[in-house]
Structure formats: C-alpha cells, structure tokens
Amino acid sequence: MCSSNEHLLLYYHVRSRRRKKMTCLETQYFNLNRILLLAIGVWPYKQSNFTRFQFIFLFIILTTSLIFQCSPFISHKCTLDFVIKVLSSASFFALFVIKYIMFYVNIKAVKDLLEQLQYIYNELKDKNEFAIIFAYGCSAKRCTAVLTICGICSLCALIVFELWSEIFHVILPMNISRSHGLPFIMEYFVDQEIYFYWILLHINVSFCVGITAMVGIGTTLIAYFQHICGMFRISSYRIKRAMQINTLKNYKLKNEVLILEGLISAVDIHRQSIKLSKLLVFKIEKMLFSLILVGVISLSLNLFRIFQIISYGDDIKEILLPFIFVTICILYMFVANYIAQDLTDHNNDLFAIVYDVQWYEVSLHIQKLILFLLQQGTKKFAVSIGGLFVGSLECFATLVKTSVSYFTVIYSTQ
C-alpha cells in the first residue's frame, strides 16, 4: 500500500507530465500561428481584458476602412464602371472583416477543439506515431511560413504602390504642384489633401490587420487540419501494425487479443479525427459560406478591373492592386480546397490499407471486424459547406470557373 505522500507525489508527477505535453503542440507546431493571432488579439489561450480591447480597436479600424470604401456611393454618381471600381477593393476588404469575425465569435470552440487535439496527441503510443505527427506538424509550419512571407510581400507592394509618386518626386523633384492620390476610391468627408498621410496610415493599418487575420487564422486552420491528417495516418499505421503481429504463433489467442486491441485503437483515433474535422466545419459553416460568396464576387470584380485597365490604356501601375487581390483570392481558394481534398484522400487511404491487409491469415472473428471496417469505407467523407460546396480540387476549379463566368457577364453588360 502506498502512503498518502507517495500518492501526492505520483499525482504531481502525472500532472507535470501532462502540463509539459499540453504545451507541446502550442510551442512546437503553433508557435508562428500564436504570434500572428496574438498580434490581432484572437489567440484562444490568451484572452484578457487587454486582448478584448485590442480586438475591438483593430476591428473598428478594419470595419471603418470598409465603410469609407463604400461611402463614395453617397457622394458620387453611380455608373457601372464606378460601382465596379469601388466594389473591387471593398469586396476584398469584406473578406478581411468576415474572416476576423468568424474566428473571434468561435474562439471558445476553437480552443476546445485544440484541447481535444492535444488530448489525442497525449494518447499516442510509440515513437513512430510521434514521428508521423512531427512530419505533419513541420509541414504545417512550412505552410505557415510561406503564407506569412506572401502576406508580408503583399503589404510591402501596397505601401510601395501608395508611396511611389512620393518616392519618384524625391528622386526627380519637379517645380509643380501635385495632388495626392489614394490607392482606392474612398470618401472620408474631410479634405483629403490636408489629412492625406493620416488617411494613408488608416488604410495601411487596416490592410495590415486584414492580412494578418487572413494569414494567421487561415494557417491556424491549416495546421489544425494537417494534424487531423496526421491522425488519419496514425490510424493507418495502427492497422498495419496490428495485422503484422505474428511473433507469437504458438499463442493464437494472445495474437488475436493484440490484433483486436490494435484495430480498436485505430478505429478510435479515426473516429475522433472525423469528429474533430466535422465539428470545426460545423462551427464556422455560415461564415465559410459567406467567405466563398464574397470571395467569388471579389475575384470576378478584380478580374474585370484588370481587363479594364489593360483595355482602356489606364495607368499600368493601377493594375498592381487588382492583381494582388486576384492572386490572394485564387491562392486562398486553392489552399482551402487542397487541405479539404487532403483530408478526404487520407481517409480513403485508410480504407485502401484495410483492403490490402492479409485478412485471410487471421481468425474468422477478426475477419468479420475487417469486413465491418470495409463497410464503413463505403461512407464518403468530405468537408462540406452547407451541402452546397464540397472541399476538393474540383470545387476549386468550379469556383474559379464561376468567377470567370461572372466576369464574362459583367463584360457583356458594357
């Protein structure tokens, strides 16, 4: 019998080990995501009064930028070209606002899901399973780093575009008065010449917040789904390992028990992975639906803006911003659908492995269990948004095709 002190020491030992593991996913695989989300006040594990104030302050900056982009409809005559020019940038900023709201209103659910993912990680059994998670975690970190660099490049391109005339004037000064121009059509209801640099600061800060939100939130979801893909791979590994138990040929009953335990653990982690992926999509389904609709509209309008600039012989430098918006929209659509396709493929790979196992070498009882797994494989698993959009590369092609179709419709009205 252990004494009460020994029980207490054992309790704190287990608790310290669990605490150490609890920080593992956050510090090892979500470190850059944490930095990005802390910068905009939406990291799930660090919610305080200051971060709430931070969110409100940055959200006001972001939404007022969208409002001032739509306000020219009040003070200007609305022709079709004017409406398209205003909405091409406003619709892109609407994506920022939707994405920012989507994560914040579901921040508790995201925290709970990350904790459940951590719990599954704590239950991993051997070094091979940890190696699988490590590989997928590193893949998610690389994706986060690449998309962060793309976001920084987009922000730098916007700043250079805004200050190009100022830089050119410093290099080649001319003794003529010149007016300042904003990158978008905006109406602040003040003298824009006097407050030009304040307005420019507001635009840059809002774009910076929006890009950080898009990259930080997007890459966090990517990392989350990448870890679920890793869980699918672990499930496949457990099935193969269970069916390769043949070292105890003289103990068939013990072999059967070990195989059953391996198959049950594989089914359990597979079931939990599907549950986590569906639960996250269910929580943010409405916002994702809005993102898809606004994304298609933004892509169509900015494609048309590029066509207008090229066709009408406008200043070629004006093509930079619509090109950035189109590139970001297409890249975001592709990455989102690729991750969804990857989840489906990993699920299918699991049942392909079940088909390939040497089922004929095991007992009839286990053969029936394998048959049950094969029947489960007939149920198609995919990331679905409202039953209308099924995440896949085919869906990506459909969204781009739809955007081009809308662009064609707008062109035909000219």
29-69 pLDDT tens trace: 888 999 999 999 899 887 888 989 999 999 999 999 999 98
CA 372, CA 366: separation in Å to the nearest integer? Answer: 10
Q: pLDDT value at position 62?
A: 92
Residue 10 has pLDDT above 50, yes or no: no
Contact 355, 370 (CB under 8 A): no
pLDDT number for residue 15: 43
What string of H, E and C letters represents the secondary structure of 333-377?
HHHHHHHHHHHHHHHHHHHHHHHHCCHHHCCHHHHHHHHHHHHHH
**Average pLDDT for residues 323-333, to the nearest whole number?**
91
Mean pLDDT score of the chain: 81
Contacts (Cβ under 8 Å, ≥6 apart) of 259: 242, 243, 245, 362, 366
- pLDDT at position 215: 92
Write the CA distances from 251 to 25, 245, 324, integer angstroms: 40, 11, 65
CB 108 within 8 A of CB 44: yes
Instruction: Of 100-114, 245-259, 284-298, give the lowest mean pLDDT range.
Output: 245-259
Q: pLDDT value at position 1?
A: 40
Residues 244 and 356 sit within 8 Å (Cβ to Cβ): no
SS3 for 218? helix
Contact indicator for 326, 302 with CB cutoff of 8 Å: yes
The pLDDT of residue 313 is 65
CA distance 76 to 98: 27
Contact 199, 188 (CB under 8 A): yes
Residue 283 pLDDT grade (very low, low, confident, very high; cuts 50, 70, 90): confident
* Cα–Cα nearest to 307, from 409, 211, 164, 395: 409
Residue 414 has what DSSP assignment?
-
Q: How confident is the model at residue 243 (pLDDT cuts 50, 70, 90)?
A: confident
Which of 28-42, 300-314, 344-358 holds the top average pLDDT? 28-42
In this prediction, residue 380 has a pLDDT band, given cuts at 50, 70 and 90, of confident
Task: Give the three-state DSSP class for 244.
Answer: coil
Q: Which two tokens stand for residue 400?
A: 């781009």
Predicted local distance difference test score (pLDDT) of residue 286:
85
DSSP 206: H
3 state SS for 3-44: CHHHHHHHHHHHHHHHHHHHHHHHHHCCHHHHHHHHHCCCCC
Q: Give φ, ψ of 238 to 5 degrees.
A: -65, -35
- Going by pLDDT thresholds of 50, 70 and 90, the confidence category of residue 19 is very low
* Per-residue model confidence (pLDDT) at position 210: 92
Q: Can you give the pLDDT at residue 5?
A: 41
Domain ranges of the chain: 27-412
Percent of the chain with pLDDT over 70: 82
Task: Judge whether residue 251 has pLDDT over 70.
Answer: no
Instruction: Tell the burial category of 414 from Cβ atoms under 10 Å away from its Cβ (0-12, 13-18, 19+).
Output: exposed
- pTM for this one? 0.84
- As a whole-number percent, the residues of the chain with pLDDT over 90 amount to 28
Can you say whether residue 209 is alpha, beta or left, with left for phi > 0 and alpha for psi between -120 and 50 degrees? alpha
**Digit-coded pLDDT (tens) for 93-128:** 999 999 999 889 888 888 888 888 888 888 887 888
3-state secondary structure of 391: coil
**Residue 339: its pLDDT value, please?**
92
pLDDT value for 314: 62
Amino acid 6: pLDDT: 42
Q: Write the DSSP assignment of 150-200 as a string of letters.
A: HHHHHHHHHHHHHHHHHHHHHHS--SS------SS----SS-TTTTHHHHH
Rounded Cα distance, 275 and 272, in Å: 5
- Residue 377's pLDDT is 62
* pLDDT tops 90 at residue 315: no
Long-range contacts of 191-197 (CB under 8 A, 24+ apart): none
**Radius of gyration for the alpha carbons in the chain, expressed in angstroms and rounded:** 27
